Structure 1
Amino acid sequence: MKTEALPEPSPDNSPKPGVLRRLLQQEDLNFLLTNRVPRIALTRFMGWFSQIRSPGLARLSIAVWRLFTDLDLSEARQQRFASLHECFTRELKPGMRPIDPDSAVMTSPCDAIVGACGTLAGATVLQAKGFPYRLEELFGPRQDTRPFHGGQYVTLRLTSAMYHRFHAPADATVEHVTYLSGDTWNVNPIALQRVERLFCRNERAVLNLRLPGGTPIALVPVAAILVASLRLHFADLLLHLRYHGPNEIDCDVPVTKGEELGWFQHGSTIIVFTPPGFDLADGIAAGARIRMGQALLRARAPAMRMAAAAQP
């Protein structure tokens, strides 16, 4: 394993944030600490702990959190939090995420780092180089995935420090939600290069939407360690490891481009799927950083565009 010399400790003998981050970036150690642990038990504990309402405990937890991440709360609507959960699911100040108004553009539903993306080889998707998975495995046995064969996909990874709410990428109607319970593997690049079919193993939801012209799109929020909780506003649902409700949920909810759909409790991944007829927007490639509301995909044919003119 490749290692590097660490800087001298600070005078108070406490490690500097950069040291802790570099330690966690060492692949073997990162994988051990975030996967070779009781993942589901830790995730349930984190769900309980984050809900404790204590401003003092929240401040202390946020200070520890900042040792490991680049957490920036300058954009947050509120600056004081009664619980860690309030910080995880924080709102932003108005106007912090402008929405691309181009009717041909489908915008990013969240702040993220772009992972694997491109054109599906039939129904095969890449989670990382050399690690393919099948669309049918991700969507579940009751979904018809044929409209997305040969289409575009973009994997969007939310880090723990990012804004955790996600939004509608276009004017659309939410028609169906499929909830699939599962594991809580970490979804960082280190795990994606070691665990085959990771997204198909983890807890996830499949959100089926339809654009005004009839074109289907899908968003697949995937849970991860410490993050197995997903709030969906449009269906008034909280999906989590103890959820015992129906797994197939019919909806008929119109949403507008940029409208908030829900939130993760910590950070995770959203995979966006379109049928053929879309291209990646300029600058969208693995490793790129994107903010909610920026251009993610562009429709080629006018009939597939999300134009307001298509609405009565």
Structure 2
Amino acid sequence: MNLKDFSFITSQYLLPHHLLSRLVGYFAESELSFIKKPLMNFFLNRFGIDLSEAERESVNDYKNFNDFFTRSLKADIRPIEGNTNEFVSPVDGAVSQFGTIHDNALIQAKGRTYRLTDLLGGDTAQAELFADGEFATLYLSPKDYHRIHMPIAGKLVKTTFIPGKLFSVNQLTAENVPNLFARNERLVCEFETEKGTIIMVLVGAMIVASIETVWSGIVAPFQRKISQQLLESRKLDFERGEEIGRFRLGSTVILLTQKGALQWNDQIKNEANVKLGQILQAQVSDN
């Protein structure tokens, strides 16, 4: 590891994660032109964001930085591919890792694994549902579209908010910070689908001002205890490709499916870029 990378990793342990993230969140909500426009222009130039895909193509059309960062796309710019019983990518992003869940372990990065039970906040019964199932860790960089959609139609039955740190979730930290995704603040969303139970874990990260869902708004930004909510009695059915939430600044989504539900498309490889609506599986399983 070079000195620059070492300094970055060291800073992750020393910085006041939540204070820094909430402070950035304050500025991201500002509607003052001398604050919001420099922020938006910096991100446009630094990360090469393509506003031609957005419904609003000018920075002048956004009320604040968060509005810009969670921008909606033009209609039909992300077609939902395949048949209704085939999984699609829930986000624009990069495949950090993917594969089969063996012995309660997920791959975090080359040479590093972590326990599924830890990711799910210690819920052993929930973790057992995904024995020998599949997972995909999808990293959203600052240039990406930051809304999260359903990979397949389903009903939301339970959410669990798990407090934690806010380490950066880029490749460098994934390779060097043990149990990264099981340490960061996250929201575990469990859905029932025709392909069995699936979970999407929305992982917070450094400078992520908050996670937001369509059913509850901003999720517990200051809560410091595990909080579970059962939602089976509410009508929370989502169509394949329908929006379920968004990140206010970039982070990661971890998709979990049960054994036999998903066979990976040959185009899905580590570090491959994926788009919302892109087919994830090679064929529909009979199970």
Q: Do Structure 1 and Structure 2 share a fold, with TM-score over 0.5?
A: yes
C-alpha spacing 1:250/1:2, structure 2 compared with 1 (3 Å): closer
Calculate the TM-score normalised by the size of structure 2.
0.90
CA contact (8 A) 2:163 2:225 kept: no
Deviations 1:13-37 (A, max 9, x none): xxxxxxxxxxxxx533543566542
Amino acid at match of 1:251: L
Q: Percent identity?
A: 29
What's 1:115 paired with? 96
What's 1:23 paired with? none
C-alpha spacing 1:264/1:138, structure 2 compared with 1 (3 Å): same
C-alpha spacing 1:107/1:181, structure 2 compared with 1 (3 Å): same
The two structures, once aligned, show a CA RMSD in angstroms of 2.1
Secondary structure in 1 matching 2:188: strand
Secondary structure in 2 matching 1:297: coil
Shift of 1:241: 3.0
Are 1:90 and 2:71 counterparts?
yes
Are 1:211 and 2:193 counterparts?
yes
Shift of 1:47: 1.0
Deviations 1:177-198 (A, max 9, x none): 0100111000000001111001
What's 1:175 paired with? 157
CA contact (8 A) 1:184 1:203 kept: yes
What's 1:146 paired with? 128
Shift of 1:203: 0.2
Map 1:1-312 to 2 at 5 A: 27-31=5-9, 36-78=14-56, 79=58, 80-142=61-123, 144-212=126-194, 215-233=196-214, 235-243=215-223, 247-252=227-232, 253-277=236-260, 278-297=262-281, 300-302=284-286, 304=287
Secondary structure in 2 matching 1:105: coil
Whole-angstrom distance in 1 between the partners of 2:188 and 2:100: 19
Whole-angstrom distance in 2 between the partners of 1:56 and 1:48: 14
CA contact (8 A) 2:164 2:183 kept: yes
Shift of 1:141: 2.4
Shift of 1:299: 6.0
Secondary structure in 2 matching 1:126: strand
Deviations 1:72-118 (A, max 9, x none): 21111112212111111111111111001323420111001001111
CA contact (8 A) 1:55 1:81 kept: no
CA contact (8 A) 1:76 1:90 kept: yes
Whole-angstrom distance in 2 between the partners of 1:298 and 1:247: 36
C-alpha spacing 1:147/1:180, structure 2 compared with 1 (3 Å): same
Whole-angstrom distance in 2 between the partners of 1:2 and 1:202: 25
C-alpha spacing 1:28/1:66, structure 2 compared with 1 (3 Å): farther
